[in-house]
Structure formats: structure tokens, C-alpha cells
Chain A
Amino acid sequence: MRKYIVSIIFIFSVLICWSSTPDLSSHEDSTSHNAKQSEEFNAGQMIIDHIIDNHEWHIATVGHTHISIPLPIILLDNGKLVMFCSSKFEHGHASYKGYKLEIERNADKGKIVKVTPGTMVTDTTAGKPLDFSITKTVAGIFVSVIIMLIIFFSVARSYKRNAGHAPKGLQSLLEPLILFIRDDIAIPSIGKHYYKYMPFLLTTFFFIFLSNLIGLIPIFPGGANVTGNIAVTLVLALFTFVIILIKANKNYWLHIFNAPGIPWWLKFPLPLIPIIELAGMFIKPFVLMVRLFANITAGHIIVLGFVSLIFIFGQMNTGLAYGVSPVSVFFSLFISLLELLVAFIQAYVFTILSALYFGMATEEHEHTESH
């Protein structure tokens, strides 16, 4: 299956990138260019480079040759759609069609900016184009989505073929999780109307869980920091938020704007409780977003930090690096195993909190006063 997905990604890249460069483009860094800078190891910079988004999927660097998969750049610049392959930028050393990849360490690092035509100088007067590129994270999302589609279509098929019998293979691996989401998340949190929320809860849980796991695999097609990207968690939380807004009944709105059982002077003239409740409405999805993002990012930072230790000590003394490496590897391994647990727990937490919020939004009160 891995081979299948890899080939899909390759075909995808080939189709979008109509550049003459091969898929696995290699670029020789001119040794005279920033030779000293590349020798210095900056742990913080390395870690940030690993966890933020990128316009190419970097696989390895051998000597001064970067092996990476170029990804398509799609820009929306003043209503004009510009598409080309990220290999045109030559890892930030060249401009193309009046754009370049910012590699200077400033606020725009890693972003696509306009240049004054014919030079490599950033045109600070021009606005930045809207970047709709298929970045590494977007490609990672696609990998997760494709793997999920393959897995769950096969599972759905085996449910149809195997109707009324004990589960088999992949189906029996996933059935406990599906039942867990239904029986331990959806039914206790939402109640008898759980059924219509099941597709969202199941999809969210498996998307987060799978993306977390793929994020732990250090090599292609894993390694994209999907759930550790704030835009991804933002969208997931927004989905939850929108569903709450659509499904909320009048009890929910009543509780926000005129919560029963609260003394009147807390609502008038200064609507203290309504303000808090209204803020809570937005804080809930915000916290969902931050929790997932922070947990996954923190895990990646710790693992990368332990690996960085080897190189930090290596700059002082080679022997020291060898001495430190077993400890570093051990701790990285330990944190990675912990991350396996976190991958599940965060998917679980996101799903159960979403389910709880849905339950709160659709709760039926027989006795409004009792609450």
C-alpha cells in the first residue's frame, strides 16, 4: 500500500510540476556561498525548519546536495492565478516570474515574496501574493486523506461482504476503534441523537490519529507535520464550531444569552454572564485548535531537540557527540513511544470534546429551572 501511495504522490508531482527538472531534483549548493553558515549548527533553526511548512518535501541532504520532491506553487496575485514548480526557486537561490522564496531570517522566512524584476531583491512595496501552493503540509494532508480513503473503502467493502460475521483483517483492527468512538464517545456525550454526528466524529478521529502517526514517521511520505500545523487544527476546530452553530437548539442560545438560574444583576445592566458564555463559545474551538497543535508540535520539538543534542555536542568535540548519542537516541525513542500514546490521546480528546460540545448544543431540558 505504501508503494501505491508513493506512486500516487509521484504522479501528482509529475502532473503539476511541468518543469524540466526531474522529480527528485538535486541542487548543488555552491560551496563558496554561505559555506561558513552551513557549517554552523543552529538547533532552534533546524527544529523550526522541520516543523513548519515548506514548499518542497525535503528528504535528505547528502553533502551539499539536497534531495527533495518539488511541490507545485499556486499563487493568487491580484486575481491572477500563477502556477509553477517549486524547483524553479532552486531552494531559494533563484527567482521565477517575479517571485522568490524568502530565505533570510525575518518575519517572511519560508514565504513567497515578490522581487524587483531581474534581481533577487525583495520588493517591499508590493503586496504579498496569496499562497495556495501544495506545500509539504498540504501534500501530507493529501497523503492522510488518500490512506484513509483506501483503508476505509476496503473496510466498508469487508463489512458488506462479511455481513453478520466476525470481522476479518483490517476490519477487525479498526472495529474496536469504531465501537470505542460510538460506545464510549458519541453515545455518552451526545445521547440518543448520536447517529448523525458519527460520520464527523469517526472521520475526525481517524484523520487526526492517522496524521499523528504518519507525522511520527521521519521519512517520506511521512514526516509532514500535519496535525502540528495550526492551520490544520484551526480548520478541524472550525468544523466542530460550525456544526455546533448549525445544530444548536434554542436551549443552547438561551443558556448563552439568558442563562436560567442566574441572578438578574449578573445579566443587567452589565451582561457579565452572557459575555462569558459568548466568549466560551469561541474559546471552546480555540482550545481544541491549540491543544492538538501544541501537543503534536511539542512532541516533535522534544524528539528533534534530543537529536540536536548530538550535533550540539559534536560541534564541541566529536568524542562527546559519540558519548551523548546513545543517551539522545534512547530519549528520542522514549519520547517517540510517548508520542504514539499522545497520537491516540489527542485524537481521542479532540473527538470526545467535539462530541461533548455537540451534546451540550443539542441537550433537551425538561426542567429548565433545575439547571
Chain B
Amino acid sequence: MELVTPGIGLIFWMTVAFGLLLFILGKFVWPPVMNALKEREIAIEQSLHQAEAARREMETLQFTNEKLLKEAKEERDALMRDARKVREKLIEDARERATVEADRILESARERIQHEKMAAITDLKNQVANLSVEIAEKLIREELSDSVRSKHFVDKSLGEINLN
């Protein structure tokens, strides 16, 4: 019967000891422990949310990056195309201008050559005329030194002159 008969002393001491334990732990231990657990859980949850948000942001960022890259590529292609066009045009223009210039130069050279030629011809003509006059003078002088012949010549020349 001893086994199932609670003793008064034991009930008293157990109540005191357990009551004190409950009071001390309930006052000094469980509140900080429970609060710490709760705070940590909140912190973990917040961190998870933040991580999720960061991930989403990264995704949008990546998307934007890709879009930007694509745009940049397109722009570069357009620029390249334009540049090529401009270059071709430049080359074309340059060629045209060069042709025109060359033509002009050629023309002017030709003109000058013509001009020079004409000058040379005039000069030559003058010189030939001078020479002819000199030769004629010499010849005349020579001829005149021989009066017979000069007479003959004058006659002949006079004969040739057709008086109209």
C-alpha cells in the first residue's frame, strides 16, 4: 500500500520544489528562450523573403541585360551598316571627284599643250619667215652681185607676175 499512498511530506516538498522550478524557469529562462526562437524564426523568414526578392530582381536584371545587349547588338549592326554605306559613298564620291579633277587637269593640260603648240608654230613660222627673208636677202645680194643673172631673174620674175 505504501506504493500507492502519497505521503504528505513528499507532496509538500514536490509542490515547493516544482512550484519554485516553474516560477524561476518561467521568469528567467523560458521568456528569453521563446523570444530568441521567435526572433530567429522571424529573421530567417525575412532573410528568405529578401533572398527571394533578390532572386526575382536578379532575374529582371538579367532580362533587362539581355534586352540591352540585344539592343546594343542591333544598334551596332545598324551603325556598321551605316558606316559601310558612308564609306562606300565616300569612296564613290572621292572617285568621282578624282575623275572630274583628272579630267579637268587633262583638259587644262591639253589646252596648254595646244596653246604651247600654237605658240611654237607661230614662233617657228616667224623664224622660218625671218630665215626666208635672210636667205632671200642673201640670195638677192648674191644674185645682184651678178648683174646678168639678176637681170635675167628680174625679167623672169616680172614675167611671172601677172598684172591684172
| Cβ contact within 8 Å between A48 and B13 | no
Within 8 A of A (CB), among B7-25: 7-15, 17-18, 20-22, 24-25
Chain A residues closer than 8 Å to B34, beta-carbon distance:
182, 195, 198
Q: Are B32 and A232 in contact (CB under 8 A)?
A: no
Interface size on A, residues (CB 8 A): 54
Which of A6-14, A147-155, A276-284, A361-369 participates in binding chain B?
A147-155
Determine if A148 and B21 form an interchain contact, defined as CB atoms under 8 angstroms apart: yes
Q: Which residue of B lies closest to A131 (CB)?
A: B9
- Do B26 and A200 touch across chains, with their CB atoms under 8 A apart? yes
A133 touching B30, Cβ below 8 Å: no
Interface presence of A63 (CB below 8 A): no
A230 pairs with B3, CB closer than 8 A: yes
Contact A155/B10 with A199-B25, A199-B26 known, Cβ cut-off 8 Å = no
Q: Interface residues of B: mostly helix, strand, loop or mixed? A: helix
A152–B27 CA distance with the chains assembled, in angstroms? 12
CA distance A94 to B40 in the complex (A): 61
For residue B159, CB closer than 8 A to chain A, the reply is no
- Contact indicator per residue, chain B 28-44, by CB within 8 Å of chain A (1) or not (0): 11111110110110010
What chain A residues lie within 8 Å of B39 (beta carbons)? 163-164
Task: Please name all residues of chain A whose beta carbon is closer than 8 Å to the beta carbon of B160 when the two chains form the complex.
Answer: none
Contact B33 A159 (CB under 8 A): yes
**Separation of A234 and B7 alpha carbons in the complex (Å):** 10
Which one of B4, B30, B32, B43 contacts A160 once the chains associate, using CB atoms below 8 Å? Answer: B32
Q: Does B148 sit at the interface, judged by CB under 8 A?
A: no
Q: Considering the complex, which residues of chain B in the window 87-101 have a beta carbon less than 8 Å from any beta carbon of chain A?
A: none
Rounded to whole Å, the gap between the CB of B25 and the closest CB of chain A is 5
What bracket does the count of chain B residues touching chain A fall in?
A: 35 or more
Q: Is B164 an interface residue (CB 8 A)?
A: no
- B residues less than 8 Å from A238 (CB atoms): 15
Q: Which residues of A contact B25 (CB under 8 A)?
A: 148-149, 152, 199, 202-203
Chain B neighbourhood of A207, CB < 8 A: 18, 21
Q: Tell me whether B30 and A198 are in contact (CB under 8 A).
A: yes
B21:A159 contact, CB within 8 angstroms: no
B147 within 8 A of A: no
B5 within 8 A of A: yes
A236 vs B6: C-alpha distance when bound (angstroms): 13
Of B10, B28, B32, which one neighbours A231 at CB under 8 angstroms?
B10
A178 interfacial by beta-carbon distance below 8 Å: yes
Q: How far is the CA of A195 from the CA of B30 in the complex (A)?
A: 10
Q: Is there contact, CB below 8 Å, between A53 and B7?
A: yes
B1 at the interface (CB under 8 A from A): yes
Please give me the residue from chain B that is nearest to A139 by CB atom.
Answer: B13
10 more contacts with CB within 8 A, not counting A182-B37, A238-B15, are: A74-B9, A131-B8, A133-B9, A145-B18, A149-B25, A230-B4, A230-B5, A231-B11, A235-B11, A235-B14
Q: List 9 A-B contacts (CB under 8 A).
A: A53-B2, A109-B2, A145-B20, A162-B36, A179-B37, A199-B25, A203-B26, A207-B18, A231-B6
